[in-house]
């Protein structure tokens, strides 16, 4: 099946005024309709920037400096803004992390959902309101008729995030980017939101890019995983493969950090016991090490790792890792 | 009954405040050296001790201060503000004559300041590094630091001598102009300079406030959400950002109303505008205390009414401030997670 989203060698830079620093370096991913890709990695490794670059919403001073973002075959990176706006919120939509601040405090819920329908589907105010009501039902908000005229501050965090999802899904997008959609919510609500996303995905065949810190959520939701580190995608592959046979030392470290409870006993049995928590922190933008960016923290690093860029090694049908020693590790 | 309770308690508060205004102003004036009789006698070119004492008794100025105060409060309660020594008219009549001119001036100045200031602030926020933005910053600083009377005098000189297209004194043309439409245009023509003068200082502060507020709002998460919806930049700014950015502006309108009256005293004096401000100036010069007290009283009432209106406007744009509608207020936020 033709991928709905294909990112090819994406480069994003930030202009600090003195120089342009690399934020994302050579990100490549591919996502087919109806599938979910989980993007994981520590804070600051470029997950949100990948999402925002795809949406064309990079913050001030950030810009795409190379590569392509193909959405149904058309390059979003080089598309005129006007054309990209027609896709945004329509065929391509995003759910943000902060349900408390991501909704406009002075507009009603009905208005905020209806707006995209009026804009992209040319519905009248009345029709849009009807569809907004349908959407509130679809995201399982109780007493939706009443909620239509509520303002965001009258809703709980979980309900607000449902409203965000309703906005994102209103135009039946081909692709949803969900950037840590449940981080700000408590655990029971997280599970409900994920279940909801999966159900809605089943109905519409939407592709989802799910950004999260939570490997448990990835195990539950994703078909594929991309692991990010310091602006690079260091391992990609099918979810079972990555969780059970993580090849890159960084991915292995991430597994150890995640409570085994959430990954199941299988992960516990198969993850290499040698690695402890990953020591050190992600280097900030502009201070990435020369060759392998993970080398300073990697227990397996040797001289080659510090002097030569590691290759992207294919490890199976769709499994690849950016590491000199990946192969050996995977089948050790 | 209980639904009127908040309104009743507000009313009681307002009355208490007015009483405090009366008492404080009354006592303040007692502190000033000299009394009206001194001024009248001075203007008459002197009088004998007996005549002076007689006049004092006539005006009730020989009684103890607290007795005078009690009498005054009692009279005000019945709507009697006394008689002007200088203008030889009941003070109330005098004030009601002058009030419309001041309200017209203050509201025009306020509208100009809020509209122009907000627009300038918003345009410059959209291009914070553009030429207009820098111009607004400089203009704001200048307008903010220039005293009102100085701005007024400069405009007066400019339009009296250099470029006489606006009248610089009074509210109407003495010769009178034809018909009601002519009269309105005449007043509007006279209004331009005083209103612009009074507005200048506030344009500056509103443009600064609106600019800062708009910049802050444009960085908010919900603006990113609005952009993610595919809205055009214009709709993002006017449909999503503007109302949020206006909230501090409305707050400031309420806070500044009192200052605006103070400014009106100077502007009315400079441009000879027949309002309460000039009346205040004249009655201070003449020590016409009943008039002065009544002016202070009515200014306080106007400021309170203005604050009340601001409050209403505030509730209207910001639904988070309770009471947007009673039905909505009942739909309280659910405890987190419980009903999500
Ligand atoms: N507004 C900004 N100005 C400057 N640098 C920024 C800004 N936002 C993010 N960055 C930097 O860009 C890099 C990538 O950040 P990004 O937000 O993509 O990380 P992330 O993987 O989403 O992290 P998190 O898990 O914390 O959301 C980080 O080094 C971060 O410090
Ligand atoms: S290339 Fe070397 S340093 Fe980098 S992750 Fe692989 S083993 Fe570690
Ligand atoms: Mg992020």
Across the interface, do B339 and A101 touch by the CB < 8 Å criterion? Answer: no
Please name the member of A104, A156, A185 whose beta carbon is closest to the beta carbon of B222.
A104
* Spatial contact of B68 and B22, defined as CB atoms under 8 Å apart: no
Nearest residue in chain B measured CA to CA from A168 = B229
Range in A195-204, A217-226, B311-320 the model is least confident about? B311-320
pLDDT above 80 for B120:
yes
Across the interface, do B225 and A167 touch by the CB < 8 Å criterion? Answer: yes
Residue A288 falls inside a structural domain: yes
Q: Which atom of ligand 2 is nearest to the CA of A300?
A: 7
Residue with tokens 């294919």: A314
Residues with CB under 6 A from ligand 1: A 14, 23, 41, 43-49, 59, 284-285
What pLDDT sits at residue B175? Answer: 62
Bridge-based pairing of strands A232-238 and A312-314 is: unpaired
Please name the member of A96, A156, A167 whose beta carbon is closest to the beta carbon of B337.
A156
- Ligand closest to CA A59: 1
A146 and chain B in contact, CB less than 8 A: yes
Q: Please name the residues in contact with A129: beta carbons below 8 A apart, sequence gap of 6 or more.
A: A110, A114, A148
CA distance B210 to B130: 16
pLDDT above 60 for B50:
yes
Residue B177 confidence class, pLDDT cut points 50, 70, 90 = low
Domain of A317? 5-91+171-331
**For residue A149, which residues of chain B lie inside 8 Å, CB to CB?**
328
Across the interface, do A185 and B340 touch by the CB < 8 Å criterion? Answer: yes
CA distance B293 to B130: 50
**For residue B331, which residues of chain A lie inside 8 Å, CB to CB?**
146, 150, 154
Of B11, B115, B41, B36, nearest in space to B291 by CA = B36
- Whether the CA torsion B287, B289, B290, B291 is positive or negative: it is positive
Q: Please name the residues in contact with B97: beta carbons below 8 A apart, sequence gap of 6 or more.
A: none
**For residue B127, which residues of chain A lie inside 8 Å, CB to CB?**
none
Distances (CA, A) of B16 to B13, B77, B243, B290: 5, 12, 35, 21
CA distance A146 to B182: 53
Q: Could you give the residue ranges of the DSSP H alpha helices within B127-178?
A: 131-145, 148-157
What pLDDT sits at residue B333? Answer: 39
What pLDDT sits at residue B28? Answer: 82
Residue B11 confidence class, pLDDT cut points 50, 70, 90 = confident
CA distance A19 to B324: 50
Residue nearest to atom 3 of ligand 1 (CA): A59
**Closest Cα in chain A, distance from residue B226 (Å):** 8
**For residue B339, which residues of chain A lie inside 8 Å, CB to CB?**
142, 156, 158-159
* Spatial contact of A235 and A45, defined as CB atoms under 8 Å apart: no
What pLDDT sits at residue B322? Answer: 61
pLDDT above 80 for B178:
no
Longest dimension (CA), chain A: 67
Q: Give the mean model confidence (pLDDT) for residues B64-69.
A: 81
For residue A98, what is the DSSP state?
Answer: -
Residue A63 falls inside a structural domain: yes
Pairwise pLDDT comparison (A267 vs B284), residue with the higher score:
B284
Residue A160 falls inside a structural domain: no
- Distance between Cα A226 and ligand 2 center (Å): 17
Pairwise pLDDT comparison (B238 vs B39), residue with the higher score:
B238
pLDDT above 50 for B336:
no
* Spatial contact of A302 and A292, defined as CB atoms under 8 Å apart: no
**For residue A120, which residues of chain B lie inside 8 Å, CB to CB?**
230
What is the rounded radius of gyration, in angstroms, for the C-alpha atoms of chain A?
21
Residue A161 falls inside a structural domain: no
The mean of the pLDDT values for chain B is: 79
Across the interface, do B221 and A98 touch by the CB < 8 Å criterion? Answer: yes
Residue A262 confidence class, pLDDT cut points 50, 70, 90 = very low
Across the interface, do B319 and A105 touch by the CB < 8 Å criterion? Answer: yes
CA distance A281 to A113: 40
- In chain A, the number of structural domains is 1
**Closest Cα in chain A, distance from residue B314 (Å):** 12
CA distance B111 to B106: 9
Q: Please name the residues in contact with A32: beta carbons below 8 A apart, sequence gap of 6 or more.
A: A1, A2, A3, A4, A207
Give me the total of CB pairs closer than 8 Å, taking one residue from chain A and one from chain B.
109
Residue A106 falls inside a structural domain: no
Q: Give the mean model confidence (pLDDT) for residues B199-218.
A: 88
A46 and chain B in contact, CB less than 8 A: no
B50 and chain A in contact, CB less than 8 A: no
Please name the member of A102, A107, A119 whose beta carbon is closest to the beta carbon of B230.
A119
What pLDDT sits at residue A259? Answer: 54
Residue A276 confidence class, pLDDT cut points 50, 70, 90 = low
CA distance A236 to A319: 6
Pairwise pLDDT comparison (B8 vs A133), residue with the higher score:
A133
Strands (E), A78-185: 92-95, 175-179
- Ligand closest to CA A288: 1
Q: Which atom of ligand 1 is nearest to the CA of A24?
A: 14
pLDDT above 70 for B339:
no
CATH code of the domain containing A20: 3.40.50.300
In chain B, the domains with their CATH numbers are: 17-77 (no CATH), 99-322 (1.10.3720.10)
Residue A289 falls inside a structural domain: yes
* Dihedral angle over CA of B172, B173, B178, B179, nearest 10: 10
**For residue A90, which residues of chain B lie inside 8 Å, CB to CB?**
230
- What is the ipTM score, two decimals? 0.87
Range in A98-107, B62-71, B94-103, B208-217 the model is least confident about? B62-71
Q: What percent of chain B lies above the pLDDT cut of 90?
A: 9
Q: Give the mean model confidence (pLDDT) for residues A189-213.
A: 88
Residue A264 falls inside a structural domain: yes
Residue A24 falls inside a structural domain: yes
Range in A95-104, B105-114, B242-251, B257-266 the model is least confident about? B257-266
What pLDDT sits at residue B64? Answer: 79
Q: Is B323 helix (H, G, I), strand (E, B) or coil?
A: coil
């Amino acid at each position: 099946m033709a991928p709905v989203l294909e990112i090819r060698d994406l480069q994003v830079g930030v202009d600090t005024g003195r120089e342009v620093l690399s934020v994302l370096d050579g990100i490549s991913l591919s996502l087919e309709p109806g599938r979910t890709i989980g993007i994981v990695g520590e804070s600051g490794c470029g997950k949100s920037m990948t999402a925002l670059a795809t949406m064309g919403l990079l913050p001030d001073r950030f810009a795409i400096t190379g590569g392509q973002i193909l959405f149904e075959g058309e390059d979003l990176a080089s598309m005129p803004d006007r054309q990209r706006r027609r896709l945004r919120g329509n065929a391509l939509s995003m759910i943000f992390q902060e349900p408390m601040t991501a909704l406009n405090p002075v507009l009603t819920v009905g208005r905020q959902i209806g707006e995209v329908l009026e804009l992209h589907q040319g519905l009248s105010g009345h029709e849009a309101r009807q569809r907004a009501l349908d959407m509130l039902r679809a995201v399982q908000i109780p007493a939706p008729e009443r909620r239509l005229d509520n303002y965001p501050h009258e809703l709980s965090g979980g309900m607000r995030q449902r409203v965000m999802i309703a906005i994102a899904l209103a135009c039946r997008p081909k692709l949803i980017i969900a950037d840590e959609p449940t981080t700000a919510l408590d655990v029971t609500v997280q599970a409900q939101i994920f279940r909801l996303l999966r159900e809605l995905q089943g109905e519409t065949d939407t592709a989802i890019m799910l950004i999260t810190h939570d490997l448990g959520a990835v195990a539950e939701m994703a078909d594929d995983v991309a692991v990010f580190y310091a602006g690079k995608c260091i391992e990609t592959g099918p979810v079972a493969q990555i969780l059970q046979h993580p090849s890159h030392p960084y991915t292995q470290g991430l597994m150890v950090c995640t409570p085994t409870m959430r990954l199941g006993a299988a992960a516990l049995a198969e993850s290499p016991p040698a690695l402890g928590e990953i020591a050190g922190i992600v280097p900030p933008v502009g201070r990435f090490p020369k060759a392998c960016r993970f080398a300073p923290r990697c227990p397996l690093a040797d001289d080659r790792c510090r002097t030569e860029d590691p290759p992207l090694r294919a490890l199976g049908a769709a499994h690849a890792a950016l590491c000199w020693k990946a192969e050996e590790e995977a089948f050790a | 009954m209980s639904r009127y309770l908040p309104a009743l308690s507000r009313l009681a508060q307002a009355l208490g405040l007015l009483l405090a205004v009366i008492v404080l102003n009354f006592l303040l004036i007692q502190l000033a050296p000299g009394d009206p009789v001194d001024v009248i006698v001075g203007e008459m070119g002197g009088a004998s001790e007996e005549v002076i004492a007689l006049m004092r008794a006539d005006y009730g100025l020989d009684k103890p201060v607290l007795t005078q105060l009690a009498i005054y409060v009692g009279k005000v309660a019945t709507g009697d503000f006394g008689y002007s020594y200088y203008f030889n008219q009941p003070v109330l009549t005098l004030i009601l004559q002058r009030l419309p001119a001041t309200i017209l001036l203050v509201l025009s100045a306020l509208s100009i300041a809020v509209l122009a200031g907000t627009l300038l602030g918003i345009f410059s926020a959209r291009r914070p590094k553009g030429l207009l933005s820098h111009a607004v910053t400089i203009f704001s600083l200048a307008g903010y630091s220039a005293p009102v009377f100085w701005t007024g005098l400069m405009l007066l000189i400019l339009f009296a001598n250099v470029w006489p297209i606006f009248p610089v004194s009074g509210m109407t043309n003495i010769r009178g102009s034809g018909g009601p439409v002519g009269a309105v245009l005449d007043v509007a023509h006279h209004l331009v300079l005083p209103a612009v003068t009074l507005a200048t200082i506030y344009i500056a502060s509103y443009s600064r406030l609106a600019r800062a507020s708009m910049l802050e709002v444009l960085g908010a998460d919900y603006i990113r959400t609005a952009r993610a919806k595919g809205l055009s930049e214009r709709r993002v700014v006017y449909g999503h950002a503007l109302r949020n950015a206006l909230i501090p502006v409305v707050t400031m309108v309420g806070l500044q109303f009192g200052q605006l009256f103070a400014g009106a005293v100077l502007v009315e004096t400079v441009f000879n505008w027949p309002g309460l401000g000039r009346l205040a100036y004249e009655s201070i010069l003449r020590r016409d205390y009943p008039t002065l007290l009544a002016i202070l009283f009515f200014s306080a009432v106007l400021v309170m009414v203005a604050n009340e209106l601001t409050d209403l406007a505030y509730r209207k744009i910001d639904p988070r401030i309770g009471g947007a509608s009673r039905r909505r207020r009942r739909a309280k936020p659910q405890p987190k997670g419980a009903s999500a």
